[in-house]
Each structure stands twice: as structure tokens, then as C-alpha cells.
Amino acid sequence: MSATLTDTADADRNTFYLVDEHEHPEGSSTMLGFWMYLMSDCLIFAMLFATYGVLGTSYAGGPGPRELFDLPLVALNTSMLLLSSITYGFAMLSMNDGKQGATQVWLAVTGLFGAAFLGIELYEFSHLIHEGAGPQRSAFLSSFFTLVGTHGLHVTFGIIWLVTLMVQVQMKGLIPANRRRLMCLSLFWHFLDVIWIGVFTFVYLMGMLR
């Protein structure tokens, strides 16, 4: 009788655990982890924006935004990054349709726009340094180079990641793992666009109005 009760209790316990189990979608932990990473990146850029907000008017007797910034050039640079975000959207649409070739083409175009953005930014930095307006010139320039340079570093890593994914898609196709990776990069790329819009508005446009 005791053995029967024990077996019944074990069966009930096993039934409870079976009912309590639920499936986890493949890759859900990856997406959650990536969202947590983006939130940490938001904090980093929030601190850099706050630092620039405090030091952005400390010119130490040197040149300010009006004397240094070439707004048409910065607007062109901004258009490069915004266009890259649009082309990445086309890549995701092609991925959802299962069109591997079109996905690769749009990813390549995205990478070219990103490279153009970096090229213009490097030209701006070299021009400022050549004019004697390097990061050591004033607190304003130190915070400017740190904020804009950190964003540029993120774009650089994004391009490296994009090229790596293009190789993986070429080798293994649009398998679920590659689709998930492309989705993560999409979030990262659009995040960089949002940050740059903040930089363009807060640093360049507002700087020209001072």
C-alpha cells in the first residue's frame, strides 16, 4: 500500500513538471542579451552627451563650433548614414523573402555608405587637427572628439560585423542563425543612426547657433 502511494505521488509530481514546462523560441536569449547590450551602449552615449553638454562651451580661448564646423559637409555625412539605414532595411526585406542574392547586394551597398560616412568623418578629424584644433586644444574639442570618435568606432565595428555576416550568408545561406544575426545587426545599425541624429542636432546644429 505504501509503495503504491509513493508511485502515485511520483507520477503526480512528474505530471506537474510536464505541465509546467514551456518552450523557449530559438534565439530568444540572444535577442534579449543584445537588447541588454544596446541599453548599456545607451548609457555610454548618455554620459558622453552629458560630458559634451558640460564642456561644450569651454573653448580655452580657442576656436568654437562656428569657426570649425563645415555644416554642408556634416549634412552630406549624415545623409550617407541615413541612406545606409534605408538600404539595410531593403536587405532585411529581401532576407524575409528568402532572396539571398538581393540580401547580399543590399548589405554591400549598406557597407559602402557606412565606409563613405567613416571616410568623411576621418577627413573632418584630420582637417581639424591640421588646423591646430586637435583634442588637446580645449575641453570643448576633447569632448567633441570623444563623442564623435566613439560613434565612428561603433560604425567601424558595425562594418566589420556586416562583412563577417556577408561571408557567413555566402557560405551557409539564410539559415535561422544567420537571420537572427542579421536582425541583431539591424538593431545595432539603426541604433547608430539614432545616436548620430542626436550628435548632428546637439553638437553641430546647436553649436552653430551659439
Amino acid identity, position 191: F
**Domains defined along the chain, listed by start:** 80-205 (1.20.120.80)
Cell readout for 114 is: 557606412
Report CA 30 to chain centroid distance, whole Å: 16
| pLDDT score, position 30 | 79
pTM of the model: 0.84
Rounded Cα–Cα distance for residues 138 and 140 (Å): 5
Query: Angle, nearest 10°, between helix axes 139-172 and 28-55?
Result: 160
Q: Can you give the pLDDT of all 210 residues of the chain as single tens digits?
A: 444 544 544 544 554 444 444 554 555 577 888 999 999 999 999 999 999 999 999 998 889 999 999 999 999 999 999 999 999 999 999 999 999 999 999 999 999 999 999 999 999 999 999 999 999 999 999 999 999 999 999 999 999 999 999 999 999 999 999 999 999 999 999 999 999 999 999 999 998 887
| pLDDT score, position 67 | 92
Do the Cβ atoms of 210 and 66 come closer than 8 Å? yes
Q: How would DSSP label each residue in the chain?
A: -HHHHHHHHHHHHHHHHHHH-----TTHHHHHHHHHHHHHHHHHHHHHHHHHHHHTT--TTS--HHHH--HHHHHHHHHHHHHHHHHHHHHHHHHHTT-HHHHHHHHHHHHHHHHHHHHHHHHHHHHHHHTT--TTS-HHHHHHHHHHHHHHHHHHHHHHHHHHHHHHHHHH-S-HHHHHHHHHHHHHHHHHHHHHHHHIIIIIIHHHH-
Q: Tell the burial category of 120 from Cβ atoms under 10 Å away from its Cβ (0-12, 13-18, 19+).
A: middle
Rounded Cα–Cα distance for residues 26 and 31 (Å): 10
